[in-house]
Amino acid sequence: MGTKVRNIRMTQTKQSLINAFVNLVNEKDFDKITVADLTKGAQVNRATFYAHFNDKYEMLDYIVDQSASTVIENRTLGVVKFDKESIHALVLAVCDYHQQPNFQCRTSYLSLIPQLKNKMLVELKRYLSKSLDNICTDVEKNFYAPIYANIILEAGYLWAFDKSSLDKETIATKISLLILEDTSREE
């Protein structure tokens, strides 16, 4: 079998396992999900699961990592800029991220919130750092990118988990204006 065919098959199998996990997340608590449940849902054998992941925790880590970067990529359309539209998109990305899969529906997933927030924070810092490349010095960028990332993360998190009466579009608009006003004061 050619390398290209093998890579496509591996990618499809990994995606089948991920899809099985996402489906199971909506039915049972994480600690009750077994590798047998995952392989049954993905219609693969146990050895195939272990060819991709060491255990369900590694699988979860992989999903969270991929989800954080994918949701930012989707919302920003892959364009890295530091402007109102991009910051607005980042807030919406955090809102989306905390809704898929719907971890908040099960109490056992509350323990995952710090991991979810940390993965998204890393991705926000990465995006913001790149977007500030031509605007700030490295010292300023290293100082401000984490601050802006935390503001964006907290806004999306509060919307998703504290069930704010504000809609996410309003929150995204206010946060983007707040951050941009902060940067315009520096000039």
Same domain, 47 and 112: no
pLDDT in tens, the chain (187 residues): 455 545 556 678 888 998 898 888 878 888 889 999 999 999 999 999 999 999 998 998 888 888 889 999 999 999 999 999 999 999 999 998 887 655 544 555 666 778 888 999 999 999 999 999 989 999 999 999 999 999 999 999 888 877 668 899 999 999 999 999 866 655 5
| 101 cis-preceded (ω within 30 degrees of 0) | yes
Structure tokens at 19: 């899809």
Same domain, 38 and 63: no
HEC profile of 102-169: CHHHCHHHHHHHHHHHHHHHHHHHHHHHHHCCCCCCHHHHHHHHHHHHHHHHHHHHHHHHCCCCCCHH
pLDDT at 5: 47
Report the alpha-carbon distance of residue 179 to residue 129 in Å, rounded: 14
For tokens 């807030």, name the residue.
91
Same domain, 46 and 76: no
Same domain, 47 and 11: yes
For tokens 């607005």, name the residue.
88
Same domain, 77 and 102: yes
> How many domains is the chain built from?
2
Q: What is the pTM of this model?
A: 0.78
Same domain, 91 and 32: no
pLDDT at 67: 85
Same domain, 159 and 79: yes
Same domain, 45 and 71: no
CATH, residue 5? 1.10.10.60
Structure tokens at 20: 């099985």
pLDDT at 174: 95
Neighbours of 61 (CB within 10 A): 14
pLDDT at 109: 61
Same domain, 83 and 11: no
Residue 44: which domain range?
Answer: 1-53
Same domain, 42 and 105: no
CATH, residue 141? 1.10.357
